[in-house]
Amino acid sequence: MSSTIEKAEVLIIGSGPAGYTAAIYTARAGLKPVLYQGIQPGGQLTITTEVENYPGYADGIQGPEMMTHFEKQATRMGADIRYGIATKVDFSKQPYKVEIDEEKWIESNAIIICTGASAKWLGIPSEQRLNGFGVSACAVCDGFFFKGKEVAIVGAGDTAAEEAIYLSKICSTVHMIVRRDAMRASKVMQERVLATPNIKIYWNSETDEILGDNKTEGVRIKNTLTNSTIDIAISGFFVAIGHQPNSKIFTGWIDMDDTGYIKTIPGSSKTSLAGIFAAGDVQDKIYRQAVTAAGSGCMAALDAERYLATLEH
């Protein structure tokens, strides 16, 4: 560990709605927060198009533009926002230490974790081989490239339903692969999918293989009841099977559930370690909305401010 360690009053790791909101509140409280944006500055909203359910935007707003607004507001309040990735932590004693970009260490008595979550993959070889060549985990990012073409999407939750509907407006046919005989999506989203004529659902089905050598040309779908397979010609294949919390570097230091979501004390952002707080999708597997992430970022900032006040006495 380097002998020159930078000190921060509050250190925020991650930059989605939770991270930026925490930065706004801690900066206004005069705590001079340092925020590292992480591998995806702005978080998952930067790969979203129209956001219509965030209060205050009467006509909706594009996700990336909204995150730019958050960042500008945090900067105006006095937050020190930096590009960099947290690569290691040492929470053995206070002040806690966080390694940035495997190069430097920064320490603080109050750390707010807002590292979010990342898309899950199916884990089949053809998926990784053709990733970027017709295989994607973000329909909103890449759907445009398949305008007027046939595509497939795998998943059965709200994200899969939303992305299938989005793709149906761009693509000629959307082949939706659902593992069971029912979807997990909310009733309203299921109704929208079923009412969309160019979405074809394959129930009790799994992706056997994505076909193509240098680009995606088809998908082999296996029926789990009969074990029979069918090949469908497609140009794009989208994975929408959920998310994995970005919490790996904190493993062993703070309590998590069996899927890696950081546990917080109910009604707070406090983790199992005093002075370490968590907000946003890294600790929320139920709601996962921009507005709830922002709300939990506010909670974390207030919790951190109160915690630091106790250290002064």
> Which is the catalytic residue, given 90, 101, 114, 138?
138
> Which is the catalytic residue, given 80, 141, 208, 298?
141
**298 catalytically annotated:** no
Coil, strand, or helix at residue 17? Answer: helix
Question: Is the Cβ–Cβ distance between 54 and 32 less than 8 Å?
Answer: no
How large is the angle between the packed helices 17-28 and 290-312, nearest 10 degrees? 40
Q: In Å, how far are 44, 45, 66, 166, 290 from 141, measured between CA atoms? A: 11, 11, 16, 11, 18
Q: Which residues contact residue 222 at a Cβ distance below 8 angstroms, ignoring those fewer than 6 apart? A: 205, 206, 207, 208, 228, 229
> Which is the catalytic residue, given 142, 281, 284, 303?
142
**257 catalytically annotated:** no
Question: Is the Cβ–Cβ distance between 108 and 9 less than 8 Å?
Answer: yes
**β partners of residue 221:** 207, 230
Question: Is the Cβ–Cβ distance between 220 and 240 less than 8 Å?
Answer: no
How large is the angle between the packed helices 158-168 and 187-194, nearest 10 degrees? 30
Whole-number Å distance between alpha carbons of 75 and 69: 10
**171 catalytically annotated:** no
Whole-number Å distance between alpha carbons of 261 and 64: 25
Provide the residue type at 161 as one letter. Answer: A
Provide the residue type at 83 as one letter. Answer: Y
Q: Give catalytic residue positions.
A: 138, 141-142
